Amino acid sequence: MSHPSDASAAAARRTGRRAAQERRRSAQLSEVTLDDGRVVVIKRAETDGVPGALRAEAAGLRWLAAAKTVAVPEVHRQDDADAADDDEWLVTDRVAEGRATARSAARFGRDLAALHATGAPAFGAPPPGGPEDAAIGLAPMRNVPGDDWPRWYAEHRVLPYVRLAVDGGSLTPAESDTVEKTLDRLPELAGPAEPPARLHGDLWNGNVLWGQDGAAWLIDPAAHGGHRETDLAMLHLFGAPHLDRILDGYQEAAPLADGWRDRVPLHQIFPLLVHTVLFGRGYAEQALTAARRQLTR
């Protein structure tokens, strides 16, 4: 378990400033006030987490920030001497939180469209400097590049979690057949082909913070090249403030292909199976419902 001095030492090492005060938020998360008044968030790797997860997260944050669209907290890393503990610590600026407004939600939608439009080299492409073996939450996620979205989505985003769910007993073999039947129809269900988008990759409401001016900030990414509708489907899955305005802003900047609403459950199968692996049977039922809805299209 992390000790306060460990987190403060990591903050000082990464920022070059003395740690003046520390507040523990959880076993893995602390806030440290530096001697110049700035506050940083210190995350320590989960003891039972995915190796390299924090390195992947840091690379993802930098990749999203490089797009200069949606705001992203700065990742602190003084020099190559920090590389020895890149898998153990992540130090970022803290976002002083406020509340979303209808206007800021619409702006977020436009900025998210701009982020997606900056693109990626391939579906499944990891962020520059990021490992192929990454994570989504506490689940492993492999970033294996591909050029055909339906095939890539089936092989590298859905089937690995189907197998883990069956092995873990939260999905039966017969139920896995239902999901695989949906995957067989992916070429006809996926809609018009789109180029790889630069995705946040784990865009549920908890990973969108609203600053004191109402502007959106992105945290905790599982960033990779993917289909832009996947990020939007994740926002739908757990809701978001002023979601309709977010979508209006997005459509204003980059209209979605016809039928996108019908494809939302298709893109939700992946995160629902991840949750099945992590949290059990309740999410398996939702994943199966999403798959069955696609089979009736």
Residues with a catalytic annotation lie at 202
| Strand partners for 123 | 146
HSE-up of 158 (CA within 13 Å, CB side)?
A: 27
31: tokens are 């806030």
Q: How would you class 255 by CB atoms within 10 Å of its CB: exposed for 0-12, middle for 13-18, buried for 19 or more?
A: exposed
Cβ atoms 62, 129 nearer than 8 A: yes
- Which segments of the chain are extended strands (E)? 19-24, 29-34, 39-44, 89-93, 133-136, 139-142, 197-199, 208-210, 216-218, 224-226
Strands 208-210 vs 216-218: parallel, antiparallel or unpaired: antiparallel
| Cα-based distances in Å from 91 to 74, 127, 222 | 8, 18, 17
Cβ atoms 243, 79 nearer than 8 A: no
198: tokens are 């630069």
Containing 172, the helix (H) or strand (E) segment is none
Amino acid letter for position 251: Q
3-state secondary structure of 24: strand
Cβ atoms 75, 229 nearer than 8 A: no
Selection from 156, 152, 137 nearest residue 56 by Cα: 137
9: tokens are 């030492």
